[in-house]
Amino acid sequence: MSPTALGDGHLVWQTLENAVDHIPWYRNKGLMKLNGMIAVVYACEMLIGYDGTILSNLQALPAWKADLNYPSSSRIGLLNACSYIAGIISGPVASWALDKYGRRPCLQWFSLTMLLGTILGCVAGTVQGNGGFGLFCASKFIIGSGMAAGLMTAQIMLQEIAHPRYRTTTAALFDQNWALGHILGAFICLGTSFMSGSWSWRLPYIFQAPPAVIMVVAVYFMPETPRWLMSKGRVEEARQFLVKYHGNGNEDDELVKFTFQEIKDTLAAEEATEQDSWKKILAVPSNRYRLALVGLMTWIPQMDGAAIISFYYTSVLTLVGITGATVQTGIGAGLSMFGWCCQVTGVWAMSKTGRRNIVLGTWPVLLLCNIGLIVCTAVYANSGSTNTKAGIASVVMVWLYSGADSFAGPLFYSYPAEILNFSLRSKGMGVWTLVNQGWGLYGAYANPVALSALGYKYYCVYTALIIIQFFLMYFFVVETYGATLEEIAIAFEGKDSAVARIDARLEAAVVAGSDADSKEKI
């Protein structure tokens, strides 16, 4: 099936006062409270980014190696794989729990597993022999199980609680928190690398605990999302959420009324189709399209070549004579900061140009960077490792490659959750988790082996993949710019769909109300 363009006729909500006012969020008490909740959700991704950089940095610390009985490269590969394996197992459970118990419990699941895993990891260094390594593996497994639940829940919550005016930016900013956590972890490890003894690695690891404790407490006081509340028949609670956080306490806010009725009618239409099993879900063409697109947009960032940049980047630095652990860690921290800047720029661009323009504009740049990296590293390798200019050029190409990937990165973490309708959202994000963790597991094992065997030639595989990815996105990615979470369904189900009819009725009511107000003023 082909997507349906979202025309301006379905975006009448943007004309309502709450959607067009220019009052800054920090002067709106409702939005300030809402942004406080969003910050807690963002902390989930920041902790994941922090944990993601810790393990690679710990490997450079002699004390960590000694405390874990000098793990071999295969054992380190097992440590990397533990999180992915745990995510594959916990993903379906989290998908079920999100629908059954709500979004908040799954976010607490993440914070509690992060806390427990951190404690186990720190204790691992006190256990003699292989027991310490086994305990550290258990730590990564526990953290990984919570990460899968946290990633799914955070993306869903951001889409479901955000103010319509800020939904696109709110969701897109999620991924840049990973970069912030990555930067924080890199600099903390850089600082403790000057220390000796076990605390040189325990300090960076234990720094995960305080934010996790704060999250446990903060999530307890957060309300459920209005869409989940309404799906459970708690309609008034859902309405009060919208009034308090979207309408700043105004019961008569027109945008709140529009959003409330749109959510209510859309959920009723979804319930009428009884899509409560995978058999019924997959029988609907629009659902198959959504799920295929979720899988595609999860696979692409895992297989665009940027996932192995960090490994290859360290190798290039070594080849051109930059071998000091502290220097490499410092330059790596600089690359993390550059990536964060590119992500923030990408979020800004997405809010101006939409989704399709971002990916279709970035992928040709990514292709050029890929080719440039292959050429530069080939020249360096064929020179017998004497052409330092080519080696330095390779480093530059790695930065550009990573920057281009980071620029488009926020899209891949905001897009899957928004294209899934409510009845499919948790199940679809379960698919996202399986694909994401599965390809991550592949990368943890296959990429280092392939790079070791083929060197720069391995990047030629990604040259072909980038070209294929561009055409897949060109033909199948649906534009969602400017639409509410419910209106996105029109792009998949057509202008004669139930959601389109609901919007048409609500739009007619808005227009009629505006005409009545005009007559009263006259």
- % of the chain at pLDDT higher than 90: 46
Domain boundaries, the chain: 8-239+281-513
Q: Look at 161 and 275; give whichever has higher pLDDT.
A: 161
Work out the pLDDT band at 521, boundaries 50, 70, 90: very low
User: Which CATH code fits 8-239+281-513?
Assistant: 1.20.1250.20
User: What's the angle, vertex CA 316, arms to CA 314 and CA 321, rounded to 5?
Assistant: 100
Q: Look at 434 and 333; give whichever has higher pLDDT.
A: 434
Q: Is a pLDDT exceeding 90 seen at residue 408?
A: yes
**What pLDDT does 296 receive?**
96
Work out the pLDDT band at 9, boundaries 50, 70, 90: very low
Q: What is the pLDDT of residues 421-464, one digit of tens each?
A: 998 999 999 999 999 989 888 877 777 778 778 877 888 999 99
Work out the pLDDT band at 311, boundaries 50, 70, 90: low
Three-class HEC string of 438-481: HHHHHHHHHHHHHHHHHHHHHHHHHHHHHHHHHHHHHHHCCCCC
Which of 507, 489, 485 minimizes the C-alpha distance to 498? 489
Q: What is the pLDDT of residues 340-366, one digit of tens each?
A: 999 999 999 988 888 899 999 999 999
Q: What is the pLDDT of residues 280-306, one digit of tens each?
A: 888 889 999 999 999 999 999 989 988
**What pLDDT does 312 receive?**
54
* pTM of the model as a whole: 0.88
Q: What is the distance between the alpha carbons of residues 29 and 177, in angstroms, rounded to a whole number? A: 24
**What pLDDT does 450 receive?**
81
Which of 376, 375, 387, 377 minimizes the C-alpha distance to 321? 387
